[in-house]
Structure 1
Amino acid sequence: MTLEVRDLHVAVSGRRILHGVTLSLRPGETLAIMGPNGSGKSTLLYTVMGRPGYSVEKGFIKLDGEDITSTPPEERSLRGVMLAFQDPVPVPGVKLATLVTAAWNKRRGSRDLARPDPRLSMELRRLARELGLREELLYRDVNLGFSGGEKKRSEMLQLIALKPRYALLDEPDSGLDVDGVKTIAAAAERLREQGAGLLIVTHYARILRFIEPDRVVVLVGGRVVDEGGPELAHRIDREGYRRYTGPGSGS
């Protein structure tokens, strides 16, 4: 079982952002995508998730050997690929617990998406406590009036409850203090323990101090310019991206 991206070229609003990106992810594996601002990291995640407006001009995305390049995002989600946004938008009129319940029922094949499940309700309350998320937020409109940290915790709560096979985390550490980063890293570790493959996008190595990746890929200018193990993230933490973006780098 593998989530595979091969020779992916992607354009947004007619502008080419990704240039031949290739990578793969297996269940239980953690792959960190690092790079400076504007390198195409979020574009890669959105394209893998099938977000509208991200045009694949060449290459493909495969899930367990099946081409899903043109598959709608809803179907990708049902097949176990889920995305945690960097800055989740509010969803007025939809309670957080209601949203998770509907997704839970949909994934189980139930026609009644609103049907409550006592086990899930108990699990959501328990997860909220573990993540330091106020329980009352489960019964508030999704992300409406949530702080940045509460949005991040809410996203991780949803993922853990729904148990994806592949979790795409877009800068899960952005805007958080060190305690918040530790909480999100612990939640990501929980996903990995559930067997999920993690694709973590980040500028910095700080979250990777608390959840060590199996592999690190560096993306600059929409191209993969380096690959390695956890030591690559530590080197970038010390040196930054100068060797990839400075004079003589070829980027």
Structure 2
Amino acid sequence: MLKIENLHAEIDGTEILKGLTLTVNAGEVHAIMGPNGAGKSTLGYVLGGRPGYEVTAGSVTFGEVDLLDLAPHERAAAGLFLGFQYPVEIPGVSNVQFLRESLNAQRANRDEKPLSGGEFLKLARAEAAKLDMDAEMLKRPVNVGFSGGEKKRNEMVQMGIIQPRLAILDETDSGLDIDALRIVGDGINRIMREPTKAVILITHYQRLLDYVEPDFVHVLADGRITRTGGKELAHELEAQGYGAVAA
């Protein structure tokens, strides 16, 4: 589904990714762990097409298309979803409006009819209920006044509505208490654990992996993947730290 080969990327002239190679097949969950400044968030931003991140070498293939040739909205239409470490607030735009426009743009890309207001509200309320999110929050401006945990649940609602092929989740566990972590983990499994989908979990800690079991754990250090293993590698990192394990 996703093939990254020898990816180099920089921001403001500083190289962050230095030859990263990774293959993600449909049906797989990949966890990427590493110290601060290793390039984890940069990888997510480059795949999502965030402005300011310049790819200087390498290639990224998503399905049959060159991902790097697509604009950010085209990447989303192709089925890529990027969950942010710090979800942004969008004053003046309600969750319902934002999510309905997002979903109908996806449906238009697939030559499907847009959902009516009533059809969409039924879908949105059902997804919110599955994540223990008050349906009234759907009426509020996107993430405005939300706690950290509420913002992450809101992203899971977005993901459940949009149903992407590939989800790249950047520190989704950040700011979550134990109950919220379980709910978000269950949401990831429910939405994305399918043979036609895949997940890249970017995280510092193995605690999310207690709820979303990865097929592979990768250590990203100094802009490249230095080790790959199973879930036991995450426990090794937790016990010994990145300095002892990353090389």
Q: TM-score range by the shorter chain?
A: over 0.9
Q: How does 1:162-241 map to 2 (within 5 A)?
A: 162-194=162-194, 195-241=196-242
- Superposition deviation, residue 148 in structure 1: 0.6
- Superposition deviation, residue 170 in structure 1: 0.4
Q: Which runs of 5+ in 2 are unaligned?
A: none
**SS of residue in 2 equivalent to 1:183:** helix
Matched residues in 1 for 2:102 and 2:127: separation?
17
The residue aligned with 1:91 is: 90
Distance 1:115 1:209, change over 3 A: closer
- Superposition deviation, residue 114 in structure 1: 8.5
The residue aligned with 2:46 is: 47
**SS of residue in 2 equivalent to 1:94:** strand
Matched residues in 2 for 1:196 and 1:114: separation?
23
Partner AA of 1:88 in structure 2? P
- Superposition deviation, residue 117 in structure 1: 4.1
CA deviations 1:94-126 (Å, max 9, x no partner) are: 111111111111111189x99634333112112
The residue aligned with 2:99 is: 100
- Superposition deviation, residue 193 in structure 1: 3.0
Is residue 27 of structure 2 the alignment partner of residue 8 of structure 1?
Answer: no
Q: How many residues align?
A: 245
2:60–2:67: 8 Å Cα contact kept in structure 1?
A: yes
Q: Which runs of 5+ in 1 are unaligned?
A: none
Partner AA of 2:218 in structure 1? V
Matched residues in 1 for 2:30 and 2:120: separation?
29
Further displaced range: 171-180 or 101-110 = 101-110
- Superposition deviation, residue 34 in structure 1: 0.4
TM-score, length-scaled by structure 2: 0.94
The alignment-based identity, stated in percent, is 41
Q: For the aligned residues, what is the CA RMSD?
A: 1.9
- Superposition deviation, residue 171 in structure 1: 0.2
Matched residues in 1 for 2:122 and 2:74: separation?
27
Matched residues in 1 for 2:28 and 2:191: separation?
10
TM-score, length-scaled by structure 1: 0.92
**SS of residue in 1 equivalent to 2:102:** helix
- Superposition deviation, residue 25 in structure 1: 1.3
**SS of residue in 2 equivalent to 1:108:** helix
Is residue 81 of structure 2 the alignment partner of residue 82 of structure 1?
Answer: yes
Matched residues in 2 for 1:134 and 1:57: separation?
44
**SS of residue in 1 equivalent to 2:167:** strand
Structure 1 stretches of at least 4 aligned residues deviating more than 4 Å after TM superposition: none
The residue aligned with 1:19 is: 18
Matched residues in 2 for 1:166 and 1:114: separation?
22
